[in-house]
Structure 1
Amino acid sequence: MSQPTLLGLSGSLRQNATNRKLLREAARLFDPASFVEADLNLPLYDGDLEDGEGIPEAVHTLANQIAQADAVIISTPEYNKGPSGVLKNALDWVSRTQGNPWADKPVAVMSAAAGRAGGERAQMILRACMVPFQPRILQGPEIHLANSSNEFDDQGKLRSDRYEKSLHDLMQKLRAEAGF
């Protein structure tokens, strides 16, 4: 059996964001896989831009990455009780491409946030935003990484065995859902 392709989408653009670290830990625990971290640094969705210039090439790249991935992991921060605008913007842009790259795609969602709830509301809203795309979103174990700036060591590895075990279990479920 070939090695699966795992695509990661971080709702934070910062290079060392805890959501990026969480994605990388998820990929490590999913292993073996070819891991690709998507670039969500896209222009804001604008119907006039779409009408005048078409869908940006970076959006087509993202849609193709989603379509070609065997499984997708999404990690979102919580900004003002919801997922990041970066992530929602990417979902909006991809919805404008031909076809539906998300259809029946195995997806695991997680969140890392500064607050004590670990992005629980953002994750709940993200799950609702994904409904029109009809992916196969895993229902658990849920990963809500609270106080996230203190949850990684200097190498980007999770400090807590409890979080690592839950993330490992989620990644094993995602592997199975993807048929690996």
Structure 2
Amino acid sequence: MKILAFAGSSSTRSINKKLVTYACSLVENSSTEVLDLNDYEMPIFSEDRENDSGIPSLAQEFFNKISQCDALVISFAEHNGAYSAAYKNVFDWCSRINAKVFQGKKLILLATSPGPSGASCVLTTAVGSAPFFSGDLKGFLSVPSFYVNFDMENGCLKSGAVNEQLQLLMIKLNR
């Protein structure tokens, strides 16, 4: 199974990228490509810009990456209760190529933050909208208090209920 993973963040120290990378390491018999949204920086989407210049080649490249995988794992950063501007911009451009951005792929959605809510607001939005963009949602998980629950030195969740929930969730990609 080929998994495409990324964090919905442009931070070079993204805790969501650490989480999504660890989560994908739990899937047996798979290969994972972890994308960095910084590699897909484009002008801010607008219809005027699309009419004047067309769809950026980076948007097509990102969309093609999705088409070439079997499953997607995304971990969302929460900026003021919503998607980060970096994720939203890539998503908006890709939706102009095809509104079915997730292309029927198996989808696991994650989110984390340093605080106790674990970016649950943005995760709720993502979960609710995934079917409209042709995501085959297999499950989702919010990881609260990232620095309490994640072992930065070893790059993994500490033992406990949250780690067990993530392991059970990632097994769903093999079904």
TM-score scaled by length of structure 1: 0.86
Cα deviation, residue 164, structure 1: 1.9
Point out where structure 2 has 5 or more consecutive residues left out of the alignment. Answer: none
Does residue 120 (structure 1) correspond to residue 125 (structure 2)? The answer is: no
Does residue 171 (structure 1) correspond to residue 170 (structure 2)? The answer is: yes
Contact 1:74 / 1:109 at 8 angstroms: preserved in 2? yes
Amino acid at match of 2:174: R
Change (3 A) 1:117 1:9: same
1:30 to 18, 27, 32: 27
Task: Report the equivalent of 2:143.
Answer: 145
Change (3 A) 1:89 1:128: farther
Contact 1:71 / 1:105 at 8 angstroms: preserved in 2? yes
Task: Report the equivalent of 1:39.
Answer: 36
Distance 2:86 2:106 in 1: 21
Deviation by residue 1:151-175 (Cα, 9 ceiling, x = unmatched): 2331321123322211111110122
Task: Report the equivalent of 1:75.
Answer: 75
Distance 1:117 1:125 in 2: 14
Amino acid at match of 2:114: A
Task: Report the equivalent of 2:97.
Answer: 97
Amino acid at match of 2:34: E
Distance 1:88 1:107 in 2: 17
Deviation by residue 1:6-60 (Cα, 9 ceiling, x = unmatched): 0012111123311001111111001332211223232221223222222111111
Size of the alignment, in residue pairs?
171
Give the 3-state SS of the residue equivalent to 1:160 in structure 2.
coil
Give the 3-state SS of the residue equivalent to 1:118 in structure 2.
coil
Which structure's residues are more often strand, by fraction?
2
Point out where structure 1 has 5 or more consecutive residues left out of the alignment. Answer: none
Task: Report the equivalent of 1:84.
Answer: 84
Distance 1:38 1:51 in 2: 28
